[in-house]
Amino acid sequence: MLDIEQLAARLNEHPDFMSSGKYFDGAIQLEIGNDRIWIKVFMGRVILATRQPPPFGYTFCIKGPLEHWRFAMAGKKNRLHEAVVTGRLKVEGNTIEYARISRAVYGLSEVMHAMAQADGQALGDLT
Amino acid sequence: MNTEIIGRYIDVDGHRLFMDTAGDPSGRPMICLHTAGKHALQWRFVLPYFAERGYFVVAPDLPGHGKSLLKDYVPIDSIHVYAELVWKLCGQIGLKRPVIMGCSIGGDIALDIAAHHSADIHAAIPCEAAARTPTYPLAALERGLEDSGVPSFADQSYIGGIAASGTRALPERVAEIAWTRRLGDPRVHYNDLKGWIGHDVRHLLAGIACPVAVVWGNEDYYLPYELIKETVDGIPNATLIEMQGIGHYPHIETPEFNALVERFLASIA
């Protein structure tokens, strides 16, 4: 399972995430197979990361089956953007906001990719 | 041999076009056509190389791109319209039997010119392009035609540049691809992509009389191999130059590109 405390801590130090997310007040949900992670972001900082998404939902969600997350994260290259462009992973919700904080999402993917590379089990079933 | 890149302007069909040139104007002409929404700067590693080898290389900014003005400020959304404009440019500056090379939409334009004027060109080198390229999601395209639909366009383009480069691309070249992708008007970019998805010259492939080399990076996720194969198989005298570990920008990603193109041109001399 992805260590969400470590994820939040690393995002709060990632320059792209902090900078691009500076003008954002919302929540990003990740659906990695059956695993759901809800990340509340306010002005470039993660203020809560939980596996119990609140009933009021998210701003946008990046979701897909495990095999496609594996394609995006388990290889040497971070392929999240490619996975979304080619339809392996889906973005749902407010896709205008997803586009607007593109660099924050890129920062998120960089952190997840680095965690997957450093620890083969970091993304659970992904490896 | 002077390999300096020199810019100049010319009016073609009411568009005021900028172009980079390099080499002796009496050399064998070569035209280089850039990718969607971008500009001639993409060919800065290619122009001096071929100028040094006796070519006169011309890389225009298509209308509305880089330093080229657009007639009536209405973006062009047709590969064929671009192709005929480039062909007219070749005529106006006196390029006889040019090599036509391009990447992405520039590659589609090169193929379109080959499909309509192959008797009058030396060779065509479409890179990351095919006879048809219906590979961009329509919903994303429609959003892109409105500025309000593509917030943070520069950031999106920057990240797209990193993602679309291959794993064997030189890191400093990837940084340049990503940076230069930040520039330009999204409306022009997405109209180019409208041309990209509408392009289809399959019915003309069998009539292409000149040699064609299709350059394809096997990590280009915008172009599946099936579309490349269909193109190469359909042209009587076509060669596939496959580049392992290279993505959507072979002419920038690696200096190996120049030598591969040179080898092809030597083989048809």
Each residue's pLDDT tens digit, A34-73: 999 999 999 999 999 999 999 999 999 999 999 999 999 9
Per-residue CA distances from B36 to A108, B80, B110, B186, B249 (Å)? 28, 14, 14, 10, 12
- Asked if B221 reaches chain A (Cβ–Cβ under 8 Å), the answer is yes
How far apart, in whole angstroms, are the C-alpha atoms of residue B266 and residue B88?
Answer: 27
Q: Are B244 and B167 in contact (CB under 8 A)?
A: no
Determine whether the interchain pair A85/B163 forms a contact, defined as Cβ–Cβ distance below 8 Å: yes
pLDDT of residue B2: 79
Which of B137, B151, B164 is closest, CB to CB, to A99? B151
Residue B218: which region, alpha, beta or left (left: phi > 0; alpha: psi -120 to 50)?
Answer: alpha
- Asked if B27 reaches chain A (Cβ–Cβ under 8 Å), the answer is no
pLDDT of residue B136: 86
pLDDT of residue B138: 82
Give the gap in angstroms from C-alpha A46 to the nearest C-alpha of chain B.
21
Q: Are B181 and B161 in contact (CB under 8 A)?
A: yes
Residue A119 pLDDT > 80? no
- Asked if B163 reaches chain A (Cβ–Cβ under 8 Å), the answer is yes
pLDDT of residue A124: 62
Report the complex ipTM. Answer: 0.91
How far apart, in whole angstroms, are the C-alpha atoms of residue B27 and residue B24?
Answer: 5
pLDDT of residue A88: 96
Query: Using 50, 70 and 90 to split pLDDT, how confident is the model at A127?
Result: very low
Which of B151, B163, B167 is closest, CB to CB, to A96? B151
How far apart, in whole angstroms, are the C-alpha atoms of residue A58 and residue A11?
Answer: 18
Give the gap in angstroms from C-alpha A101 to the nearest C-alpha of chain B.
7
Residue A126 pLDDT > 70? no
B143 → chain A, closest CA residue:
A96
How far apart, in whole angstroms, are the C-alpha atoms of residue A17 and residue A39?
Answer: 13
Probe site for chain A from B138, B141, B153, B156 (most A CB atoms < 10 A): B156
pLDDT of residue B269: 82
The CATH code for residues A4-118 is 3.30.1050.10
Determine whether the interchain pair A103/B167 forms a contact, defined as Cβ–Cβ distance below 8 Å: no
Phi, then psi, of B94 in degrees rounded to 5: 75, 30
Residue-wise pLDDT for A81-103, tens only, equals 999 999 999 999 999 999 999 99
Burial status of residue B67 (CB atoms within 10 A of its CB: 0-12, 13-18, 19 or more):
middle
Dihedral, CA atoms, B35, B210, B25, B255, nearest 10 degrees? 50
A97 → chain B, closest CA residue:
B151
* A19 vs B contacts (CB less than 8 Å): none
Give which of B241, B266, B267 is closest to B55, Cα–Cα. B266
Determine whether the interchain pair B162/A81 forms a contact, defined as Cβ–Cβ distance below 8 Å: yes
Name the stretches of chain B with pLDDT < 70: none
Residue A118 pLDDT > 90? no
* B139 vs A contacts (CB less than 8 Å): none
Determine whether the interchain pair A81/B167 forms a contact, defined as Cβ–Cβ distance below 8 Å: no
Beta strands in B199-260, from DSSP E residues, in sequence order:
212-217, 238-243
Give the gap in angstroms from C-alpha B158 to the nearest C-alpha of chain A.
9
**3-state secondary structure (DSSP) of residue B11:** strand
Give the gap in angstroms from C-alpha B54 to the nearest C-alpha of chain A.
39
Burial status of residue A124 (CB atoms within 10 A of its CB: 0-12, 13-18, 19 or more):
middle
pLDDT of residue B64: 97
How far apart, in whole angstroms, are the C-alpha atoms of residue B215 and residue B236?
Answer: 16
Residue-wise pLDDT for A10-42, tens only, equals 999 999 999 999 999 999 999 999 999 999 999
Q: Are B214 and B114 in contact (CB under 8 A)?
A: no
Residue A125 pLDDT > 80? no
* A22 vs B contacts (CB less than 8 Å): none
Q: Which amino acid is at B31?
A: I
**How many residues does this entry show for chain A?**
127
